[in-house]
Amino acid sequence: MADNARQPIDDYLPQPGTDLYYAHRYAPRALQPALALIEALRGEIARVPASCSSPEIAATKLAWWREEIARLDAGVPRHVLCIALNARRITLPGLTAAAAALVDGISALLDLSRHPTRAARSAAFDAAHGPLWALVNGLSVPLDDAAAHAAAQLGCRVEEAYALRDTRRFVASGAALLAQDSVQLIETQLAGSALDDAQWYARVIGHDLAQVSSALRSGLATLPGRRRLRPLATLARIALVTLEEVQADGNRVWVQRVELTPLRKLWLALRERAGL
C-alpha cells in the first residue's frame, strides 16, 4: 500500500527549512539520527488522512501501517524508515508500541465528525502522539513519571497546534478537528449572523488557538530539564510563534497556511540553545 516505501531514506528525513530540521539542529549529534527517523515515521503516519482523497482510502493506508508496525515488531519491516529503525530497536524500547498507538489514534480521528469538547480533542491528540513523544523525550534525558508526563503533554500540544494551523487540510481529509463546544460558543455569539467559510473558521479556530497558545506558553515555562529537552523546547517555541503569526493574521486558517521563514526558525533555535 505504501507506494513510496522504497524511496531513498533521505527523502523522508526532516529537510532544511522545516520546523523539525531546526528543532533537531542543536540536539546532541549522537541523538540526531534517531530523532530524525522517529519524527519521519510520525510524519508519514500522521499525514495519512490529509494525503488521501477520502477517509476510506486513509483507513486502508493506516491499516497498511498497522501491519508494517507489526512487521517491525517482528523484525521483518518493508518500509525504508522501518528498516532503518529496526537496526536501532535495542536502543529504542517501546518504539513499536508507541507507533501502533499513533496509528490507532490517527485512525480514531476518522471515526468522528467533531470532537465533543476541546478537552476531548486534546485527549485524542494525547492518545495518538503521547507515547511517541515520551519515547523521543526519553532519548534526550531520563525523566521521572511526572516530568515525562509534562514533557509528553507539551509535545502533544505542539501536534494539536499544527493541526489547528492546518485546519483546511484536516477538515478536508474527513478527520475530526473541530470541537463542538467551541462551535456552539461561536454560534451563540453570532446569533444567526451569516459568515462565509473563511470568516466562520477564523472565529471558531481563533478561539481554540488562543487556548492552545496558552498551553504551549505554560508548558514551555514549566518544562522540566528544558535544556536537555532542547528538540522539544525548540519545536514548541517555533509552534508557539507560528500560532502568534496566525492570530496576528486574523486566524485566516481557511484561506492560507502560515509558515515562518527558515531564518526566523533558525533564530528561534539559536535563542533556545542560548537559553534566551
Tens-place pLDDT, residues 142-175: 899 999 999 999 999 999 999 999 999 988 888 8
Which among 96, 122, 89 is positioned nearest to 216, based on CA atoms?
122
Arithmetic mean of pLDDT over the chain: 93
Answer whether residue 14 shows pLDDT above 60: yes
User: Which CATH code of 1.10.600.10, 1.20.140.10, 1.10.10.10, 3.30.70.260 fits the domain covering 10-274?
Assistant: 1.10.600.10
Give just the sign of the alpha carbon dihedral 109, 67, 52, 211: positive
- With bands split at pLDDT 50, 70 and 90, how would you rate the model's confidence at 5? low
Which helix (H) or strand (E) segment is 265 a member of? helix 262-274
Confidence band of 128 (pLDDT split at 50, 70, 90): very high
**CA 98 to CA 209: how far, in whole Å?**
27
Residue 6: pLDDT band (50, 70, 90) is: low
Which pLDDT score is estimated for 2?
52
Q: How does pLDDT run across 56-81, given as a tens digit for each residue?
A: 999 999 999 999 999 999 999 999 99
Polymer length in residues for the chain = 276
For residue 90, is pLDDT > 80?
no
CB 270 within 8 A of CB 257: no
Given a cut of 70, whether residue 220 has pLDDT beyond it is yes
C-alpha distances (whole Å) from 6 to each of 10, 12, 38, 76 are 11, 11, 17, 15
Picking from 28, 15, 13, 154, the residue whose alpha carbon sits closest to that of residue 85 is 13
**194 band by pLDDT with thresholds 50, 70 and 90:** confident
For the cut 90, the answer to whether the pLDDT of residue 89 exceeds it is no
DSSP, collapsed to helix, strand or coil, labels residue 179 as strand
